[in-house]
Amino acid sequence: NESDDSHDEL
Amino acid sequence: MNIFRFAGDMMHLLSVVVLLLKIHKMKSCAGISLKTQELYALVFICRYLDIFTGFISLYNTIMKIVFLASAFSILWYMRSHKVVRQTYDKDQDTFRHYFLILACMVLALLVHHKFTFREVMWTFSIYLEAVAILPQLVMLQRTRNIDNLTGNYVFFLGTYRGLYMLNWVYRYLTEVHYHHRWLTWISGFIQTALYADFFYYYVKSWRNNEKLQLPA
């Protein structure tokens, strides 16, 4: 999943 | 989750706790920039738009709620609490923060990874977070007597993104599917670099056992 990997941070 | 990310989050949390402690126990927000606090509230709103739709972990959800709730309670204290609001030094807090919001929004519309509402708002929050400390740093420079809690608040806040940078390097080296997010890296670097001057004087005053004071 391209867009989600950086959004697992706060 | 690696140790750098966790330590970064804890620093972030600690900074908020220290600030709330100062406000709640001392009933004072002297030396604290309301404009920086408004910017952080906006940062959290725009970044955590997925709070109810995109579940990652219980840890993430709880932390998001804590950051949002603490940001709004700080704003409430500084604006509406009958004792605390009188300690707010409005005349020293003159940074034109609306320009920061505008500039970050324009930049987010121009430079992003994906042109969707969610992604542009997320990108905007990354840019805005990087510069949100500026009104506070300007205010610190004008304050002759920076109390310990305020100094520690800014120190913890500055350390948090620095630790995140170590986390990004670590993830880049260890995770196969971790994408190179240059946009976040550059913003994170700028965000941390803005504190360089402050860190220098903070460590110096701590080593010499002196009261923290920034040169005008």
The residue ranges of every structural domain in chain B are 3-207
Nearest one of B66, B43, B67, B63 to B55, comparing CA atoms: B63
Task: Kindly report, residue by residue over B159-206, the tens digit of the pLDDT.
Answer: 999 999 999 999 999 998 887 788 999 999 999 999 999 999 999 999
pLDDT, position A6: 56
Task: Kindly report, residue by residue over B103-138, the tens digit of the pLDDT.
Answer: 999 999 999 999 999 999 999 999 999 999 999 999
**Which one of A3, A6, A8 has the shortest CB-CB distance to B184?**
A6
Q: Cβ of B81 under 8 Å from any chain A Cβ?
A: no
Cβ-proximal residues to B189 (8 Å cutoff; 6+ apart), any chain = B165
Contact B9 A10 (CB under 8 A): yes
CB burial of residue B189 (10 Å; 0-12, 13-18, 19+):
middle
Nearest one of B199, B71, B184, B209 to B130, comparing CA atoms: B184
Task: Kindly report, residue by residue over B5-17, the tens digit of the pLDDT.
Answer: 999 999 999 999 9
Contact B164 A7 (CB under 8 A): no
Contact A10 B50 (CB under 8 A): no
State how far the Cα of B96 lies from the Cα of B147, in Å rounded to an integer. Answer: 25
